[in-house]
Amino acid sequence: MTKATTNHYFNTGFPDDPILLDPNMVVRTDVESVSEIVHACLKPERTPLINSDLAKAIGIDSLWFKDERNRMDMGSFKAIGASYVLAREAAEKVGLEASDEELKSSLEGRIYATASAGNHGLSLANGARLFGAKAIIYLSKTVPAEFGDFIKTYGAEVVIAGENYEESMLEAAKAAGQNNWTLLSDSTWKDYSAGVDVMAGYLIMASEAFEDCPETPTHIFLQAGIGGFPASVAAFARKFYGNGPKIVVVEPTEAPVIQASIAAGKAVEVQGEVSIMGRLDCKVPSLAALSSLAQTANYCITITDQESKDCLQELSDKGLSTSESGGAGYAALKKAIKNNDCELSSDSKVMLILTEKQTD
């Protein structure tokens, strides 16, 4: 689909949505409580918000990139996600005033499992390493081998299972149930809400970006896989800015699961080829994330693999080297400008997120 689609459920959400009745499925915006734990136990450095002169080149007023490529030396916004959940569990056990040595052994004996396209698994591996637990990460056959190798350097066990993310998630859930491990997915589904707490870790990135931005953005473009990242940022944007910014969800044409679900008014599974935007190539949505985005997003737009590739050199020339997934927001912005879409104009002030470092 060439043009962006409008979310007609904005502000109201899906009618008769059962997720809205489950308090465990509400996307969190309590950044203060998250920040207290994160800065006590993880101590991340703040990442920059870059004011880019690409704005002039593409014909808008302002363009900011929140640069997550070096977050905690893990190369992705998801560095504070699963690690936050383990930090919270560690703090609950030994207290926020505990010494580093006490924290390092606080989760000894615990085993956590998950499936990942790479970055979530790395965050879980890091959290397990920091607090004395063990992490077992299930990767599908489509995940580049170097991701698995990098995760192993954090002490995690890597299991290759399934042809895609969804199949690897089923294998992780099955193994966790059989072995009494803790399943910590960044997704949510019926009777499973742990992904909501993983998403809360992303609030640190969102709060930094909004606090550092000198003006209120007119538009915020957010990449989507299962939907956890855009849902978390969009929910906090509504709390911070209100309804002013137009929030645009960006997906590969091979995996438009948020767009298709919003069009259907409920969660649907989509079919498609494998996209080179690997971290965005998800065919089943996170239910809590989808329910939240139905209330907070204004538009959905898809981009092709070629469109994602075409913008990478332009970003690299400006010192913004990233992957196809990381640059998807910029590709979508250029497409929307070309199509006179998403209420963009020469006066627009746009925020994008460089979600990860260059991965090839």
CATH of residue 132's domain is: 3.40.50.1100
28 located within any domain: yes
pLDDT digits (tens, 9 = 90+) for 226-267: 999 999 999 999 999 999 999 999 999 999 999 999 999 999
Q: Are residues 213 and 336 in the same domain?
A: yes
Q: Are residues 64 and 88 in the same domain?
A: no
Q: Are residues 66 and 210 in the same domain?
A: yes
The SS3 call for residue 335 is: helix
Q: What is the pTM of this model?
A: 0.95
User: Which positions of the chain have pLDDT values less than 50?
Assistant: none
The SS3 call for residue 221 is: strand
- Distance of alpha carbon 190 from alpha carbon 186, whole angstroms: 14
Determine the pLDDT at residue 17.
94
Q: Are residues 223 and 329 in the same domain?
A: yes
Determine the pLDDT at residue 2.
76
- Distance of alpha carbon 343 from alpha carbon 360, whole angstroms: 34
Q: Are residues 174 and 54 in the same domain?
A: no
Q: Are residues 108 and 63 in the same domain?
A: no
Give the structural domain span for 173.
82-185
Determine the pLDDT at residue 179.
97
193 located within any domain: no
- Distance of alpha carbon 321 from alpha carbon 281, whole angstroms: 20
247 located within any domain: yes
Domain count, the chain: 2
Determine the pLDDT at residue 360.
54
Determine the pLDDT at residue 68.
96
pLDDT digits (tens, 9 = 90+) for 204-214: 999 999 999 99
| Domain final residue pick, 185, 218, 250 | 185
Q: Are residues 345 and 211 in the same domain?
A: yes
Q: Are residues 142 and 213 in the same domain?
A: no
Q: Is 162 exposed, middle or buried (0-12, 13-18, 19+ CB in 10 A)?
A: buried
27-62 burial: b if 16+ Cβ within 10 Å, else e: bbbebeebbebbebbbebeebbbbebebbeebebeb
196 located within any domain: no
51 located within any domain: yes
| Domain final residue pick, 185, 217, 238 | 185
Tokens 């010192």 belong to 319
Q: Are residues 232 and 348 in the same domain?
A: yes
Q: Are residues 349 and 283 in the same domain?
A: yes
Q: Are residues 153 and 58 in the same domain?
A: no
192 located within any domain: no
Tokens 């259907």 belong to 264
- Distance of alpha carbon 263 from alpha carbon 259, whole angstroms: 6
Q: Are residues 172 and 212 in the same domain?
A: no
Task: Please state, as a whole number, how many other Cβ atoms lie within 10 Å of the Cβ of residue 342.
Answer: 25
| Domain final residue pick, 153, 185, 217 | 185
79-104 burial: b if 16+ Cβ within 10 Å, else e: bbbbbbbbbbbbbeebeeebeeeebb
